[in-house]
Amino acid sequence: GAVVSQHPSRVICKSGTSVKIECRSLDFQATTMFWYRQFPKKSLMLMATSNEGSKATYEQGVEKDKFLINHASLTLSTLTVTSAHPEDSSFYICSAREPGGDSDTQYFGPGTRLTVL
């Protein structure tokens, strides 16, 4: 299957700082990438859909000024958590949709565990 990388895998930061998470599709070009967050033992929650070259589409309740998404190329999307607070601590996972074929399968990155102190 297609490979998606995510960096960093784990980050600890102080309250008020900003954190950037990168998501890369390594062996395919992804016109669409997705950002999710997941709390322990809870389902994945879609935060936003990122389309290359255009503004991201945010889900209801997700602050676009707090979670900045940039999808500047067909293989890279970034999520920046601005002015992070302890309640932003979570597991952030990106996925990239492999185009073509019948399924448009989403492949996930390994995730980033964010801890805000």
Partner 1 sequence: GQNIDQPTEMTATEGAIVQINCTYQTSGFNGLFWYQQHAGEAPTFLSYNVLDGLEEKGRFSSFLSRSKGYSYLLLKELQMKDSASYLCAPSDSNYQLIWGAGTKLIIKP
Binding site for partner 1 (CB under 8 A): 1, 6, 41-46, 49, 91, 93, 97, 102-111, 113
| Closest listed residue to residue 113, CA positions, set 90, 94, 79, 95 | 90
Nearer to partner 1, 53 or 101 (CB): 101
Nearer to partner 1, 66 or 113 (CB): 113
Burial of 6 (0-12, 13-18, 19+ CB in 10 A): buried
In the complex, least distance from residue 13 CB atom to partner 1, rounded to whole angstroms = 20
Distance CA(92)–CA(8), nearest Å, equals 10
Distance CA(2)–CA(47), nearest Å, equals 22
In the complex, least distance from residue 103 CB atom to partner 1, rounded to whole angstroms = 4
In the complex, least distance from residue 16 CB atom to partner 1, rounded to whole angstroms = 27
The owner of tokens 């070009």 is 29
Nearer to partner 1, 1 or 86 (CB): 1
